[in-house]
Amino acid sequence: MALGRGHWGSRFGFVLAAAGSAVGLGNLWKFPYITWENNGGAFVLVYLAAVALLGLPLMMGEILIGRRAQQSPVPAFEMLGSKRWTPVGWLGVAAGAVILSYYLVIAGWSLWSFAQCIGWSLHGYTAKEGAFTQFLSSGSIQLVLTAAFSIATALIVSRGISRGIEKATMVLMPVLLAILIYVLITALTMDGRDQALAAVFVPDFSQMTAEGFLEAMGQAFFSLSLGLGAMIVYGSYINKDESIFKSALWVVVLDTSVALMTCVTMFTIIFSIPELQNDLSGSSVGMLFITLPKMFYTQMPGGAVLGPAFFILVAFAALSSTISLGEVSTSLMIDRVGWSRPKATVVTAAVVFLGSTLSALSFGAVGSLSSIEVFANKQGVFATLDHLAANYMLPIGGLLTTLFVGWKLGRKSTIEELGLSRETVPFKIWLWILRVFAPMAVLYLLFNVFMGKDFS
Ligand code: PFF
C-alpha cells in the first residue's frame, strides 16, 4: 500500500463518499429534464438497462483499478498497464475538468435559490414571471456564484480525502434521502400522479432515437461518476477487505433511486400544475429551480422550511460531486508532478474557473457564448460542453476502461482483487460484459449517432 495514502475510516466510508459523488445535479436536475425531453418511459427503461449492464460492471472495474494500483488514474493506468494506456487517464482528467467547469455554474444556482427561499420563507412567495431568465443572464451574479462554489470546493479538496468528507456525507446523504422521500410522498397526493407514473414508467419505444439511446447511456455514466477516473481515485482509498461488488451495488442503487424519485416528483408536479409546462419550455433548467420552489410555497405544508432545506441539500449534493471532480486533477498533480496538495488544488481551481466563466456567461450574458451551436439543439457553451463531456468523453473513457479491465488486467489479479478464489459464473458474466458487450454497445451507439440514425 502506498505510503501516506488516506483510507476511508469506516465500512460505509467509501459507499457514502462515492454515493456523494454520484448523487448530485445529475440526479436532481439533469435526469428529470432529459427524461422530459426524451418523452419518458422508454428512455427511463433504456437508462435502467444502461445502469445495470454498463454502469455497475464499469463501476466495479474502476474501483478495482484504483484499489489495485493505489494511485490516481494516469499513473494507475501506466502502472497496471503500460505507457500506452496513459492517454485514457488523461482523457478522464480532461473530462473531469470540463464537467467541473460547467457543473460549478449550476451548483452556484443552488446558493442563489437557497437565499431566495430564505427571503420567501420570511416575507412570502413573490417570484415574478421571467425572474429566473433575468437571473441567468446577469453575468456578474453568475460569476460571483460560480466563484463562491469554486472556493468552497477548493477549500475542501485542499484538505484532502479527510474525515471531513466522510463525516459530512454520513449526515448529508440520509437527510437528503429523508427530505426527498417527504417531497415525493407529498407530490404523490397531487392530481397529476397517475399521468406522471405512466409517463415515467410506461415505455413507448416509438419515441426513442439513436441520440436518445446515447443520451441515456451518457447519463448513466455521468450520474454514476464513471468514465473519467473519479471512482478510480476514490477506489484507491478503499480498504482491501471491502467487497467491491457490494460497494458498487450500494452506490448504483442509491444513485438510481434518487434519480427515479426526483423524476417522479417533478413529473407529478408538472402534470398537476399545467402552467408549469410553460416555464419548462422556456428553460431546460426550470424544473429544479422554478418548479420545485413554486410547489414548496404554493402547494406544500411546511414549504417555508422545506424550501431552504431542500436547496441547501442540493448545494451539498453538488459539493460532494464537485469535490470528487476536483480530486481527479488534484491527485494527478500530486502523484505525477509532485506538487503539494494546496498548490495542486489552487492550480486546478484557477484553470477550471477560467473555463467556468465561459459557461457562466452563456445563459444570456454574452450573446456569442449563448448562441454557439456545435451540436444540434444544444445552444450555448454550457449545453455544448455538457453534451460533449457526457455523451462523448465519458462513454469513450468508459469504453477504454472496460477494455483495460477486461483485456489488459490479468484474470489472476482481477479475481484476487474481487476477493474470489476461482472463476465463478457471475465473474465470467462480468468479465465478458467488460470485454465484449460494453465496448460493442458504446461503439454501436457512437457509430449510429455519427451516421445520424433514428431508431424510432
Ligand atoms: N455524478 C454527478 C452527478 O450526477 O451530478 C456528476 C459527476 C461527479 C460526474 C463526479 C463525474 C464525476 F466524476
Whether residue 421 has pLDDT greater than 80: yes
Choose among 155, 180, 144, 125: nearest CA to 294.
Answer: 125
Closest residue CA from atom 7 of ligand 1:
225
- Give residue for cell 469535490: 323
Question: 179 near 27, Cβ under 8 Å?
Answer: no
- Does ligand 1 come within 6 angstroms of the Cβ of 286? no
Q: Domains for the chain: give ranges and CATH numbers.
A: 11-450 (1.10.4160)
Whether residue 88 has pLDDT greater than 90: yes
- Does ligand 1 come within 6 angstroms of the Cβ of 362? no
pLDDT at position 256 is: 97
Within 10 angstroms of residue 67's Cβ, the number of other Cβ atoms is 23
- Does ligand 1 come within 6 angstroms of the Cβ of 321? yes
Whether residue 449 has pLDDT greater than 80: no
Which amino acid appears at position 250 of this protein?
W
Provide the grid cell at 96.
Answer: 473531469
Residues contacting residue 175 through CB under 8 Å, at least 6 positions apart:
313
What span, in angstroms and rounded, lies between the C-alpha atoms of 25 and 326? 16
- Does ligand 1 come within 6 angstroms of the Cβ of 370? no
pLDDT band of residue 1 (cuts 50, 70, 90) is very low
Alpha carbon of 224 to ligand 1 centroid (Å): 6
pLDDT at position 213 is: 85
Task: Taking residues 14-28, report their average pLDDT.
Answer: 91
pLDDT band of residue 164 (cuts 50, 70, 90) is low
Provide the grid cell at 208.
Answer: 426513442
Task: Please identify, by atom number, the ligand 1 atom nearest to the C-alpha of residue 231.
Answer: 13
What span, in angstroms and rounded, lies between the C-alpha atoms of 305 and 136? 25
Task: Please identify, by atom number, the ligand 1 atom nearest to the C-alpha of residue 222.
Answer: 9
Comparing 118-122, 166-170, 335-339, 354-358, the range with the smallest average pLDDT is 166-170
Beta bridge mates, 119: none
- Helix, strand or coil, per DSSP, at residue 337: helix
Whether residue 309 has pLDDT greater than 60: yes
pLDDT band of residue 393 (cuts 50, 70, 90) is very high
pLDDT at position 390 is: 86
Pocket test of ligand 1: the residue of 225, 228, 234, 262 to mutate, having most ligand atoms within 8 Å of its CB, is 225
Beta bridge mates, 378: 375
pLDDT at position 278 is: 63
Query: What's the whole-model pTM score?
Result: 0.91
Look at 171 and 232; give whichever has higher pLDDT. Answer: 232
- Does ligand 1 come within 6 angstroms of the Cβ of 222? yes
Comparing 365-374, 390-399, 407-416, 446-455, the range with the smallest average pLDDT is 446-455
pLDDT band of residue 162 (cuts 50, 70, 90) is low
CA dist 55 to 116, 227, 350, Å?
A: 36, 10, 32
Question: 66 near 234, Cβ under 8 Å?
Answer: yes
Question: 203 near 45, Cβ under 8 Å?
Answer: yes
Provide the grid cell at 428.
Answer: 465470467
- Does ligand 1 come within 6 angstroms of the Cβ of 390? no
- Does ligand 1 come within 6 angstroms of the Cβ of 324? yes
Percent of the chain with pLDDT over 70: 93
What span, in angstroms and rounded, lies between the C-alpha atoms of 418 and 414? 6
Whether residue 122 has pLDDT greater than 80: yes
Left if phi > 0, otherwise alpha if psi is -120 to 50, otherwise beta: which for 144? alpha
pLDDT at position 157 is: 87
Question: 362 near 380, Cβ under 8 Å?
Answer: yes
For residue range 327-337, what is the model confidence (pLDDT) as tens digits? 999 989 988 88
pLDDT band of residue 454 (cuts 50, 70, 90) is low
Whether residue 250 has pLDDT greater than 50: yes
Pocket test of ligand 1: the residue of 31, 228, 325, 394 to mutate, having most ligand atoms within 8 Å of its CB, is 325
pLDDT at position 177 is: 86
- Does ligand 1 come within 6 angstroms of the Cβ of 161? no
What span, in angstroms and rounded, lies between the C-alpha atoms of 403 and 424? 20
Widest pairwise Cα distance in the chain: 65
355 CA to centre of own chain? 19
Task: Please identify, by atom number, the ligand 1 atom nearest to the C-alpha of residue 318.
Answer: 5
- Helix, strand or coil, per DSSP, at residue 241: coil
Question: 15 near 251, Cβ under 8 Å?
Answer: yes
DSSP 10: S
Average pLDDT along the chain = 88
Closest residue CA from atom 12 of ligand 1:
225
Q: How many residues does the chain have?
A: 456
Residues contacting residue 185 through CB under 8 Å, at least 6 positions apart:
none
Closest residue CA from atom 9 of ligand 1:
225
Look at 368 and 451; give whichever has higher pLDDT. Answer: 368
- Does ligand 1 come within 6 angstroms of the Cβ of 252? no
Alpha carbon of 164 to ligand 1 centroid (Å): 19
- Does ligand 1 come within 6 angstroms of the Cβ of 149? no
Question: 201 near 65, Cβ under 8 Å?
Answer: no
Alpha carbon of 273 to ligand 1 centroid (Å): 31
pLDDT at position 342 is: 92
Task: Taking residues 205-226, report their average pLDDT.
Answer: 87
pLDDT band of residue 2 (cuts 50, 70, 90) is very low
Whether residue 456 has pLDDT greater than 50: no
Percent of the chain with pLDDT over 90: 55
pLDDT band of residue 453 (cuts 50, 70, 90) is low
Which amino acid appears at position 367 of this protein?
G
Alpha carbon of 71 to ligand 1 centroid (Å): 20
What span, in angstroms and rounded, lies between the C-alpha atoms of 73 and 312? 31
C-alpha triplet 256, 261, 263: angle, nearest 5°: 95
CA atoms within 13 A on the CB side of 164: 12
